[in-house]
Amino acid sequence: MMKRFSTLVLYLFGFLLIWEWIRPLEQLTDTGNVWVFFLFLCIALSMDFLKWHWVIRFVINGAIIFFSLMYIYFLDQYGLIGSVPMMIQELVDNFLTMLQAQWTSITDMFRTLLFFILLWLMSYLIQYWLIQRRQIFIFFFMTLVYITVLDTFTPYNAEMAIIRTVVSGFLMMGILAFYRQLEKEEIETKTTKLSRWMIPLSGFVLISSLIAFAAPKADPIWPDPVPYITSFNEDSDNEEAGGIRKIGYGEDDSLLGGSFVPDDTLVFVAKTEDPHYWKAETKDVYTGKGWELSEEDRGSQFFVSGEEVPLESFSENENVAVEERVSNVQMNAARPQIVYPLGIKSFQSEGIPFELNEALEKFSIRYAEDSLMPTYDVIFNEPTFSVNALTAVNNDNHGLDSAFYERYTQLPEELPDRVRELAEEIVAGHDNWFNQIREIEGYFARSGFVYSQTDVAVPGPDEDYVDQFLFETKLGYCDNFSTAMIVLARSAGIPTRWVKGFTEGERINGNGYGVGTYNITNNNAHSWVEAYFPGVGWIPFEPTTGFSNPVEYEFDLDEETTPNNAEETETPERVERPEEAEPTEQTETASSTFSLTKLWDSVMEAVRQHWKKIVSIIIALAFIGCLTYIKRGRWLPYFYIWTYKHRNKDQDFEKAYLVLLHELARFGMKRKQGQTLHSFAKEVDYALGHQQMSQLTASYEAYLYSSRQEKGIWKRNKELWENLIKATIA
């Protein structure tokens, strides 16, 4: 009776474990009617428990599945009688589809059927594990993994599920361990014994669960990876910041970070004489996580084709030489938003009304429903900035309106001090904004920052996006570089803003001269920096390694004062890495003029430079060494067998036998100093349950103590020796 009861308990817990697998389905997938599966499991396990004949169980299970399917999918539509042929028809159809491996065409009904079959198998497995094998650990462990993975990577909250699983899992394992012992020792169960086992077991499990539940828990080491996964599931249009996204142009920049996957969807085709970046919008407030707008929507200004746009990027005065140009844009998708070059003057397009969101400096088309893919010409002034004018400005003489200055030098209060310190360090030695910002622009390439779209970190709740990039990851894409540059520039007091848009794209015609046709895809989505110089206007900068924004400067001043002698800001191909170059230099000097002290110095220098690496390598090696030593029982015997495989001289008998003694000692059978081999061998044989050690020892004693030396004694005894060595494998 008691035994039946505890079997029932086992089944109950087994049911709970499987149930944990089904529970999340309702929340995470569009599975409905979960209660049907619940019912099915209940009945299947009950019949298992009651040990009904398998034919009966088969029929009942089949019937439940059949009627469940019918109830869910057909009953409403076709009625009781009409459903049957429909069901059969659908089953046959699906089966054929399955044979053709067209998995996507399988209907929900058939999938449900497969799921039922899976559950059926599970219920059988549970019965097998519980009753036949008396082991549930693997299933318990898998359940835990399943639940924790779901908890981590999906919105499913498994807090209670973990508790349920742990409690029922441990109870089950405890009960099963008891039964395993009983069966091993062939003990009859008596009621009292069972309760003596069960009460402390339940006590332990409950108390430890309570303690675990009440105990304080450390925060996770990694930031929650859920955003990655959720965004991965959703479309790129609907992207949530911080996840793996398809690369491309998005509007919400409040949470930056995370990896991108390339997306070469064509966005627009541009015909232009000089390739240039295409702006889409700008933002000004850095929150520590991303970009937002400082002001409410100021509404839009409307204008029509040919009308001068109400937007001025830079002043038209002696500081900026302009050249009027025309580019043509053909959008490839129905996007209201349109792109424009720096220095935009007007749009030319037939009958399309435009609007400008002044806050964002974002142009869009007031859509008529039918104009899906607009084509337009943009007329713009290509500027050449006077470096003379630019270098005249510094923190003390900019004379900017304080509201404007504050708006574009805004930084979050939580910004770590080390960012500001870094900014000061970078700009030190330059007394004007232009040289300072050029210094910041080039900082990333100089300092070994890496451009990558993958493995890009997302800042944790307490981390700053820029701080993380500057000091920890040093790896990212345009958003990282541009945002970091702005934060550094603003820290240095230079007004800057964040610009989003596209790079010039890929030229698809011609040889590089004259008017080119460029394909701009989502991969060309980009962000960069504009800095404001009084008397000149917004000037673009490109901090991202590997990119260049061709901006022309007129060098109308002494060359010395400019940090770069190039006419254009170039992509920092000229990367210098002074920090890393140092040690190589050191070693070179050491080897060229050889002397011990120098060698010593260079060694010490290398040690100083890499001490962290060295220490961690030493620790790792020590750890591996320790582990190997601790686990030597698993490999050392094999090693010895291998070593002595081809050593057949009789002298090797002695060594081999001593090795065996040593291994036996490690195994826990140590010969006492004053113990003879003969009596030791008896002990070993007693422990191992055979006679091999005595046989081997008799041979060895004859070899050791007797006068006649038999030839080949070792060869004859090798097999015995190998068996004994193998017996010491832990």
- Amino acid, res. 471: F
x-marked contacts with another protein along 463-482 as a string, rule CB under 8 A: --------------------
Among 382-390, 414-422, 514-522, 702-710, the segment contacting another protein (CB under 8 A)? 702-710
- Considering only 658, 665, 712, 730, the residue that binds another protein (CB under 8 A) is 658
- Alpha-carbon gap, residue 168 to 146, rounded angstroms: 16
User: Two tokens at 21?
Assistant: 């697998």
- Considering only 409, 496, 602, 699, the residue that binds another protein (CB under 8 A) is 699
Map residue 172 onto helix, strand or coil: helix
The answer to whether 701 contacts another protein (rule: CB under 8 A) is yes
- Considering only 247, 529, 677, 720, the residue that binds another protein (CB under 8 A) is 677
Query: Is the distance from CB of 441 to CB of 566 less than 8 angstroms?
Result: no
**Shortest Å, Cβ 674 to another protein:** 4
- Considering only 101, 558, 673, 711, the residue that binds another protein (CB under 8 A) is 673
Cβ closest to another protein, residue 286 vs residue 680: 680
Helix axes 632-644, 596-630, angle to 10 degrees: 100
**Shortest Å, Cβ 620 to another protein:** 39
**Shortest Å, Cβ 690 to another protein:** 15
**Shortest Å, Cβ 662 to another protein:** 11
The answer to whether 711 contacts another protein (rule: CB under 8 A) is no
Cβ closest to another protein, residue 207 vs residue 702: 702
User: Two tokens at 493?
Assistant: 């007091």
- Considering only 100, 672, 689, 711, the residue that binds another protein (CB under 8 A) is 672
- Considering only 118, 149, 702, 730, the residue that binds another protein (CB under 8 A) is 702
Cβ closest to another protein, residue 176 vs residue 677: 677
x-marked contacts with another protein along 160-179 as a string, rule CB under 8 A: --------------------
Please, which residues have CB within 8 angstroms of residue 239's CB and are 6 or more apart in sequence?
231, 245, 246, 250, 252
User: Two tokens at 575?
Assistant: 């990367």
- Alpha-carbon gap, residue 485 to 544, rounded angstroms: 9
Looking at residues 264 to 303 of the shown chain, list those that interact with another protein (rule: CB under 8 A). none
- Alpha-carbon gap, residue 358 to 302, rounded angstroms: 11
Q: Is 322 exposed, middle or buried (0-12, 13-18, 19+ CB in 10 A)?
A: middle
Cβ closest to another protein, residue 512 vs residue 674: 674
- Considering only 294, 317, 648, 675, the residue that binds another protein (CB under 8 A) is 675
Cβ closest to another protein, residue 4 vs residue 672: 672
- Alpha-carbon gap, residue 41 to 51, rounded angstroms: 15
The two beta strands, 285-286 and 291-292, are antiparallel
Helix axes 34-50, 108-127, angle to 10 degrees: 30
- Alpha-carbon gap, residue 539 to 382, rounded angstroms: 12
- Alpha-carbon gap, residue 611 to 604, rounded angstroms: 10
Of 344, 400, 337, 722, the residue nearest 536 (C-alpha) = 400
CA 608 from centroid of its chain's CA atoms: 33
**Shortest Å, Cβ 665 to another protein:** 12
- Considering only 147, 478, 661, 724, the residue that binds another protein (CB under 8 A) is 661
- Considering only 509, 515, 679, 730, the residue that binds another protein (CB under 8 A) is 679
| Total length of the chain | 730
Cβ closest to another protein, residue 574 vs residue 716: 716
**Shortest Å, Cβ 216 to another protein:** 55
Q: What are the φ and ψ backbone dihedral angles of 371, each rounded to 5 degrees? A: -80, 85
Cβ closest to another protein, residue 628 vs residue 679: 679
The answer to whether 233 contacts another protein (rule: CB under 8 A) is no
The answer to whether 224 contacts another protein (rule: CB under 8 A) is no
The answer to whether 698 contacts another protein (rule: CB under 8 A) is yes
Residue 505 backbone class (left: φ over 0; alpha: ψ -120 to 50; beta: rest): left
The answer to whether 707 contacts another protein (rule: CB under 8 A) is yes
Cβ closest to another protein, residue 104 vs residue 707: 707
- Considering only 399, 461, 578, 674, the residue that binds another protein (CB under 8 A) is 674
How many Å from the N-terminal Cα to the C-terminal Cα in the chain?
A: 41
Q: What are the φ and ψ backbone dihedral angles of 117, each rounded to 5 degrees? A: -65, -40
User: Two tokens at 100?
Assistant: 């053709």
- Considering only 298, 574, 649, 678, the residue that binds another protein (CB under 8 A) is 678
- Alpha-carbon gap, residue 437 to 427, rounded angstroms: 8
Of 256, 703, 730, the residue nearest 469 (C-alpha) = 256
- Alpha-carbon gap, residue 284 to 498, rounded angstroms: 6
The answer to whether 654 contacts another protein (rule: CB under 8 A) is yes
Among 262-270, 281-289, 473-481, 653-661, the segment contacting another protein (CB under 8 A)? 653-661
The answer to whether 143 contacts another protein (rule: CB under 8 A) is no
The answer to whether 695 contacts another protein (rule: CB under 8 A) is yes
- Alpha-carbon gap, residue 274 to 272, rounded angstroms: 6
The answer to whether 725 contacts another protein (rule: CB under 8 A) is no
Cβ closest to another protein, residue 533 vs residue 657: 657
Question: Site residues (CB under 8 A) for another protein?
Answer: 654, 657-658, 661, 672-679, 695, 698-699, 701-702, 704-708
